[in-house]
Amino acid sequence: MPSYLYPGHFDLVSPDGYIKKIDIHENHTADVEIFIENISPAFVGYQLDLENVVFNFKSVLAQLGLNAVSREILLDPKKGCAEVKVHLTTIGPLAREMLPLLHPGDFLGKLFAVDERRRVRNPDYLYRMFGRTDRHGKPLLSLGQMGESKQLLLEKVNDHMVAFLTLKEGRIEYEPSVNGFLPTLGKALAHKFPLRDLLRLHQAREKKAPRTVKADEILLVCTQPLHIRTAFARVVNELLPEGCQHTSANILQPDTQASGDIYELFGSTTKEVHDIPLEFFTLEPHREHVFFQDRDQLQLSLQDPKTIFETFKIAPDPKEHLAAVFVVKGTQLLRLKPKDWILSDPEKYPFPGMHHLRRQSQMVEKYIKDQPSYPFLKAIESGLITSQGVLFTRYFPSPMMKRMLLSYYVQGHLMGLYFQIPSRSYGSFFSQEDRAMLTDLVTFGIPVYWADETSGQLLEYIQRPSKTSGMFVPQGQTETFLKATFFGVYGSNLITGNFGDELKTLLSAVQKMQHEVDHPKLNNQTPLALVTGGGPGAMEVGNFIAKELKILSCANIVDFSDRSASIINEQKQNPYVEAKMTYRLEQLVERQAEFYLDFPIFVMGGIGTDFEFSLEELRHKVSSGPFGPILLFGDPNYWRQKITSRFQVNNDTGTIEGSEWVSNCLFCIQNARQGIKVYQDYFTGKLKIGREGPIYPEGFVVVD
């Protein structure tokens, strides 16, 4: 599992450590051995020199005048623990009173990894967070109330950004009641209670008191309340007045909310302190609350198909297993390693069905949790992942993941879904449930991309306007697909025929007509697309000519793979398809319904073509129009044998009463010239077609 999915602490800090042994000396100092356990494998300190790992003291003790200086740090990555030796000093009477109240088991602080790679150097990183909130409406970064970000002054110091927090007037003093609170505080240190708010009850601000530091005195100063959700902050001692320094409780965590406003200074100086300098360290990219629109490098990388295909090559073997990774940053995408992916091989047993609903529910839940995308989506839902990003998954997600993919928080964080193979069981072919989920994803604003190895192109799922279906479309062709008038070619997958030249002439003439007519379906602002079944034979000819003429070449492709119990000719996808949708064989009717052709063209074909013709004919009958001509290419006698007897039987028996007019939508042509004439008459309003048109006794019109 990727390190950023480990629950618990941010990767720059450890959990709090507790006193294992304490030796208090007569001079009011102490040597303490602290033990820290359950450190995440993601802790950055494991990767750094120990000189860059510091001990961050508990601020509630620092406010009383205690300070801790680490003497030795021993890290054990294998056991996930650390031993820290610190020397405690006391500043002022309250600290000396508190020191004897510390006992083994009390929590004193944590480790912080000072990772130079994570130091904030660009002010825009911080400025873009002002005015933004997290999912709970809390400011991502704010000094004071929302809208007061102007008080946070940023300057570049030694190649990184420093914020200077202006101090309020006066200083914080303790009321006499604090002495009675110290024993309670001593007992509470062993229980991880939030103690700063309790200590605050015994504090008061003296507005007229000077902000100068005297020997053996802790100076407590305050700023406007600071909200931090997007970074760690650390007090920069070097930028404080000479002779003054901050205690080792100098780290502000990303869960700081309306606190971080009291700072503890000690030393000796006559100079008054006016501000607190803070430097910042970034979080793990997944926890930065960064918006996709701010990730310029990631957006540019995702526009490069080569990068997408290379990303999938990095996914770990075996290839038949599921794999997924969530990416939020350009550098993360470009530096992905196999270990960054989650690999799984969930078993899907036959579900027991409606008679065993409880068991069915449990099996479905287990199957969902076994999916490699589950940990990422769950982390988004739980708030562990707070940045927007994109999901890469080797196989298109199971429809069972729809509930999570469309959940409120995931939908807001998932800026794109990239997959390589539609189905682990059926290869390139989508199920009906898959296509329904595609529609839902697009409806919820989640773009879906297919890194299609067959075509070598990155395809985006685009839904047809006012339709419940769509296709995967190449980059740069989206607007063409959305605005296009759709022609289509139906015919045999076995016979190429001799209509190629005629079809090219016909479509070339239609392209010329675009500049000569002004029809809603044909004009110089409306592009053209051509759809086939995507297989060999007549379909391949259609797609080839479309691509040659720079007409968007599309296909609705069915899984006609070899089946032992049926005789179906294998239909391998032809190489001229650009945009496509795929279907399993049991969705043959749904596939045909989703052609949505404006102008079908039929050539010689078998049972499949007969089926497609019947559905196009039926669509004209039940549609509210407008009706376009259907071209039947070939010998009139061929089409008479196909159509006439059926039309006449239906007409004679009265079973098509009121629908006989459909015959005037069918035009039999033998060459492109005749087809051009039909289209010219239609686009100029001269063609008698539709309910008000004539009825032809042969069931179609033979064009002379």
pLDDT tens sequence across 220-259 = 999 888 888 889 999 999 999 999 999 999 999 887 654 5
Ramachandran angles phi, psi of 671, nearest 5°: -155, 170
If one counts every other C-beta atom within 10 angstroms of the C-beta of residue 26, the result is 5
Query: Alpha carbon of 577 to those of 24, 263, 434, 561: distances in Å?
Result: 80, 67, 21, 18
* Cα–Cα distance for residue pair 363/580, rounded to 1 Å: 34
Which run of H or of E encompasses 55? strand 53-57
Residue 149 is predicted with a pLDDT of 47
* Cα–Cα distance for residue pair 447/429, rounded to 1 Å: 19
- Token pair belonging to 514: 């675009």
* Cα–Cα distance for residue pair 491/518, rounded to 1 Å: 30
Span 250-284, pLDDT tens digits: 999 887 654 558 999 999 988 899 999 999 999 99
Q: Where are the beta strands (DSSP E) in 422-495?
A: 448-452, 457-463, 470-474, 485-490
- Token pair belonging to 166: 């202006």
Please give the domain boundaries of the chain with CATH numbers for all domains.
3-287 (no CATH), 290-453 (3.40.140), 476-704 (3.40.50.450)
| Burial of residue 179, with CB atoms counted within 10 A of its CB: 0-12 exposed, 13-18 middle, 19 or more buried | middle
pTM: 0.88
* Cα–Cα distance for residue pair 220/171, rounded to 1 Å: 6
Residue 237: CA count within 13 A, CB half-sphere: 13
| Burial of residue 95, with CB atoms counted within 10 A of its CB: 0-12 exposed, 13-18 middle, 19 or more buried | buried
How do beta strands 599-602 and 485-490 pair? parallel
* Cα–Cα distance for residue pair 658/632, rounded to 1 Å: 23
Is the link from the previous residue into 318 a cis peptide, with omega within 30 of 0?
Answer: yes
How do beta strands 81-90 and 66-76 pair? antiparallel
User: Which amino acid type is present at position 315?
Assistant: A
Query: Alpha carbon of 244 to those of 87, 114, 281, 336: distances in Å?
Result: 19, 22, 23, 45
- Inter-residue contact 500 to 548 (CB < 8 Å): no
Residues 6+ apart with CB under 8 A from 641: none
Query: Alpha carbon of 525 to those of 310, 479, 518, 522: distances in Å?
Result: 37, 11, 9, 8
Query: Alpha carbon of 19 to those of 12, 85, 99, 190, 634: distances in Å?
Result: 21, 10, 13, 9, 93
If one counts every other C-beta atom within 10 angstroms of the C-beta of residue 145, the result is 12
133 secondary structure, DSSP code: B
Residue 155 is predicted with a pLDDT of 87
Residue ranges of the chain with pLDDT lower than 50?
146-150, 258, 565-567
* Cα–Cα distance for residue pair 327/388, rounded to 1 Å: 9
* Cα–Cα distance for residue pair 13/38, rounded to 1 Å: 12
Residues 6+ apart with CB under 8 A from 236: 157, 162, 277, 278, 279
CA-based nearest residue to 104, from 170, 195, 165, 21? 21
- Token pair belonging to 407: 């959940």
If one counts every other C-beta atom within 10 angstroms of the C-beta of residue 426, the result is 17
Ramachandran angles phi, psi of 416, nearest 5°: 175, 145
How do beta strands 470-474 and 457-463 pair? antiparallel
* Cα–Cα distance for residue pair 120/163, rounded to 1 Å: 11
Which run of H or of E encompasses 286? none
CA end-to-end span of the chain, whole Å? 71
User: Which amino acid type is present at position 665?
Assistant: C
How do beta strands 275-282 and 226-228 pair? unpaired
Residues 6+ apart with CB under 8 A from 474: 455, 457, 458, 459, 578, 579
CA 353 to chain centre: 33
* Cα–Cα distance for residue pair 379/397, rounded to 1 Å: 17
- Inter-residue contact 182 to 98 (CB < 8 Å): yes
DSSP readout, 336-402? --GGGSEEE----PPP--GGGHHHHHHHHHHHHHTSTTHHHHHHHHHTS--S-EEEEEEEPPPGGGH
CA-based nearest residue to 598, from 528, 662, 547, 686? 528
Residue 417 is predicted with a pLDDT of 98
CA-based nearest residue to 211, from 245, 168, 179? 168
* Cα–Cα distance for residue pair 69/101, rounded to 1 Å: 19
Arithmetic mean of pLDDT over the chain: 91
